[in-house]
């Protein structure tokens, strides 16, 4: 049998080329390339706003096998720029499947490439750092290689890039949907006990569901909301969401607002991912770009205060530099892969955050206690009032 002609090309900024078979949308996109080691959840990964500006290489080969459905979207549309897989996505075979991955990507304008040696690509990312790439899909198999490499080299990268403004909500809204539970699916929170304002830097839906599931009445506000707008809702607690891009860039407007909240209101504060980095910056620490970041659902994290090890889901390319944490800020969690910071808290206030995703349930329930801790902090404050 003749070998089919490649219909997609992944060009790295150093001139390395990977040819494969395109699926999803046609066209071209430029982004940073990362890899994700999770064995499930490709739909959640593609719709996670934290992946804005990135093409995701999936190290697990079975992609497409469970199809897609409306319940697993973490945002209204895919946010990741594209996907790279080892095998051509398989036909769906799952009772929850409501559609095919290829068709879903085509409708949502996202490019995929299959037939790629993802092990070789992952090794390159680990050794050289997350490269800038251009990904093209042309059913005719015709590519302007020089233009693709030039496009990859012309990508500005994520350092200094504020992407939270691109993925945040346009205006505030209420959220009352709870976590999925058999057999009824997503229930509604009808008896909330705590008013929470969530700052949306790119919030995943399942994080908001986790908040409502511990009794929160959640109001989501845009990333650019002011402290006055937040406090106008008279919240019992503040939540800082996950999100994409360089935390230092987003911090130019978010950090002063968070500092104002910490100064003017003695409220519990909980942050996840970019929200963790925003809190750390507001408290006086610094963030740094990682070589290739942490992306996957099998990351061990140690709670330094209890000795417990949690299996967590992660998605970040920047990290808090623990050496810059000021006095009064305690490091609570670290990665057992590389020792990088994964959690902090203030010594004298219920203000804390983590670098990983406790809502993603890889453990499967190892880290849900963090949402419960946030709820207890709000209950304790109200009891003292």
**Catalytically annotated residues:** 273, 357, 359
Burial code (b: 16+ CB inside 10 Å, e: under 16) for 306-329 equals eeeebbbbbbbbbbbebebbeeeb
Measured CA to CA, the distance from residue 363 to residue 365 in angstroms comes to: 5
Q: Are 80 and 46 in contact (CB under 8 A)?
A: yes
Q: What is the DSSP string of 161-200?
A: ---HHHHS-SS-EEE-EEEEETTTEEEE--S--EEEEEEE
Q: Are 247 and 278 in contact (CB under 8 A)?
A: yes
**Beta-carbon count within 10 A of 106 CB:** 17
Measured CA to CA, the distance from residue 180 to residue 365 in angstroms comes to: 14
- Among residues 379, 69, 73, the alpha carbon closest in space to that of 236 is found at 379
Distances in Å between the Cα of 218 and the Cα atoms of 59, 190, 207, 209 are: 35, 12, 11, 9
Q: What is the DSSP string of 84-147?
A: E-SSPPPPP--TT--B-HHHHHHHHT-EEEES--HHHHHHHHHHH-S-EEEEEE-TT----HHH
Alpha carbon 373 to chain centroid, angstroms = 22
Measured CA to CA, the distance from residue 84 to residue 113 in angstroms comes to: 5
Contacts of 299 (CB under 8 A, 6+ apart): 311, 312, 313, 314, 335, 337, 356
Burial code (b: 16+ CB inside 10 Å, e: under 16) for 126-157 equals eeeebbbbbbbbbeeeebeeeebbebbeebee
Measured CA to CA, the distance from residue 81 to residue 146 in angstroms comes to: 21
């Amino acid at each position: 049998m003749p070998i089919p002609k490649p219909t997609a090309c992944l060009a790295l900024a150093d001139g390395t080329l990977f040819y494969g078979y395109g699926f999803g949308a046609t066209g071209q996109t430029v982004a940073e390339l990362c890899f994700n080691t999770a064995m499930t959840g490709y739909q959640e990964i593609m719709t996670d706003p934290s992946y804005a500006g990135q093409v995701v290489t999936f190290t697990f080969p079975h992609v497409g096998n469970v199809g897609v459905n409306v319940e697993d979207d973490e945002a209204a549309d895919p946010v990741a720029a594209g996907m790279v897989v080892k095998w051509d996505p398989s036909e769906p075979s799952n009772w929850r499947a409501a559609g095919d991955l290829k068709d879903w990507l085509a409708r949502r304008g996202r490019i995929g490439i299959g037939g790629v040696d993802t092990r070789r690509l992952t090794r390159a990312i680990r050794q050289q750092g997350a490269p800038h790439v251009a990904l093209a899909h042309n059913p005719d198999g015709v590519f302007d290689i020089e233009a693709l490499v030039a496009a990859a080299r012309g990508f500005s990268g994520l350092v200094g890039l504020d992407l939270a403004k691109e993925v945040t909500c346009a205006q505030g809204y209420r959220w009352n949907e709870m976590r999925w539970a058999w057999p009824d699916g997503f229930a509604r929170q009808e008896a909330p006990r705590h008013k929470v304002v969530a700052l949306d830097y790119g919030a995943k839906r399942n994080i908001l569901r986790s908040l409502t599931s511990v009794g929160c009445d959640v109001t989501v506000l845009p990333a650019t909301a002011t402290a006055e707008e937040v406090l106008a809702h008279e919240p019992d607690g503040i939540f800082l969401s996950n999100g994409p891009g360089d935390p230092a860039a987003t911090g130019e407007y978010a950090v002063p607002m968070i500092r104002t909240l910490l100064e003017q209101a003695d409220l519990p504060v909980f942050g996840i991912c970019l929200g963790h980095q925003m809190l750390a910056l507001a408290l006086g620490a610094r963030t740094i770009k990682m070589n290739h970041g942490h992306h996957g659902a099998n990351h061990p994290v140690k709670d330094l205060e209890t000795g417990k090890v949690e299996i967590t889901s992660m998605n970040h390319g920047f990290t808090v530099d623990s050496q810059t944490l000021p006095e009064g800020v305690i490091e609570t969690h670290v990665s057992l892969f590389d020792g990088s910071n994964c959690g902090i808290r203030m010594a004298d206030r219920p203000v804390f955050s983590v670098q990983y995703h406790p809502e993603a349930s890889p453990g499967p329930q190892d880290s849900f206690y963090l949402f419960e801790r946030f709820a207890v902090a709000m209950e304790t404050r109200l009891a003292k009032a």
